[in-house]
């Protein structure tokens, strides 16, 4: 039986890139996958699983969600079915973002979104460009079904000027002058700062794992000191 995946359309994000990647990996699965790019609450609630993508400014993201009546819907979905947040979609799940002078977010996951700063440097003191744009190594903080078949320290593609600092539920980290919480996992929610749809074979593997994810993983990944 075909699974349905709703990609939330709030007027921002790599919607069709994500949908195309899902269709590619879904075609390899028994029964296939039906991908719907939609802002229709009924279709989103009826889907087996949901993708919450995003690019751009968090202020615009939150405004569009509220304008379309999707803010509370995202909170409901996050509590009821498998959901994958991507990039700004991940940041919108946090409590608050420093971007645009400070924006309250959906408060689905604990943590804040912080600016890299104008003088970001690596361990050798070399200045790093902001936004963080390109491939970076992602280190797992624990086992999770979405990491199946993805070796620790695999590389994924990032594009962002703000990063997440979370007190718990950290599923993976990356380094770019500061420690980036590159993935978070809490019950049926998994969220990533990188773009799996732009991350080659490993990104497609993560999307395939999401389509096959049936049971919640352990929800707590302790932050290492």
Q: How far is CA 20 from the centre of its chain?
A: 17
Angle, CA 3 vertex, CA 191 and CA 85 arms, to 5°: 10
Total Cβ atoms within 10 A of residue 34: 15
Identify whether 131 is part of a domain: yes
Are the C-beta atoms of residues 111 and 165 closer than 8 Å to each other? Answer: yes
CA distance 158 to 160: 6
Q: Which two tokens stand for residue 216?
A: 């919640």
Query: pTM score, two decimals?
Result: 0.93
Identify whether 158 is part of a domain: yes
**Domain CATH number, residue 91:** 3.40.50.880
Catalytic residue, chosen from 64, 99, 140, 197, is 197
> Tens of pLDDT along 184-224?
999 999 999 999 999 999 999 999 999 999 865 544 444 55
**Does the active-site annotation cover 61?**
no
Instruction: Look at the chain and report how many structural domains it folds into.
Output: 1
Catalytic residue, chosen from 87, 105, 141, 186, is 87
List the domain range (segments joined by +) for residue 156: 3-212
> Tens of pLDDT along 84-104?
999 999 999 999 999 999 999
**Does the active-site annotation cover 98?**
no
Per the prediction, the chain carries an average pLDDT of 93
**Does the active-site annotation cover 144?**
no
Least Cα distance to 147 among 192, 209, 215 occurs for 209
């Amino acid at each position: 039986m075909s699974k349905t995946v709703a990609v939330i359309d709030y007027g921002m994000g790599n919607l069709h890139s994500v949908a195309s990647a899902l269709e590619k990996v879904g075609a390899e699965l028994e029964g296939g996958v039906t991908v719907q790019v939609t802002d229709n609450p009924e279709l989103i609630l009826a889907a087996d699983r949901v993708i919450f993508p995003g690019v751009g400014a968090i202020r615009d993201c939150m405004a569009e969600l509220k304008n379309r009546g999707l803010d509370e819907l995202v909170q409901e979905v996050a509590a009821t079915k498998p959901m994958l947040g991507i990039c700004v979609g991940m940041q919108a799940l946090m409590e608050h973002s420093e971007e645009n002078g400070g924006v309250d977010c959906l408060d689905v996951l604990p943590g804040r979104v912080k600016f890299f700063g104008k003088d970001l440097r690596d361990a050798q003191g070399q200045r790093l460009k902001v936004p963080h744009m390109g491939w970076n190594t992602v280190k797992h903080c624990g086992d999770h079904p979405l990491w199946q078949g993805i070796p620790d320290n695999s590389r994924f593609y990032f594009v962002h000027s703000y990063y997440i600092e979370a007190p718990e539920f950290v599923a993976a980290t990356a380094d770019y002058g500061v420690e980036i919480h590159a993935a978070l996992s809490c019950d049926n929610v998994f969220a990533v700062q990188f773009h799996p749809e732009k991350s080659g074979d490993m990104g497609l593997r993560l999307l395939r794992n999401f389509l096959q994810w049936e049971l919640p993983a352990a929800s707590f990944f302790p932050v290492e000191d």
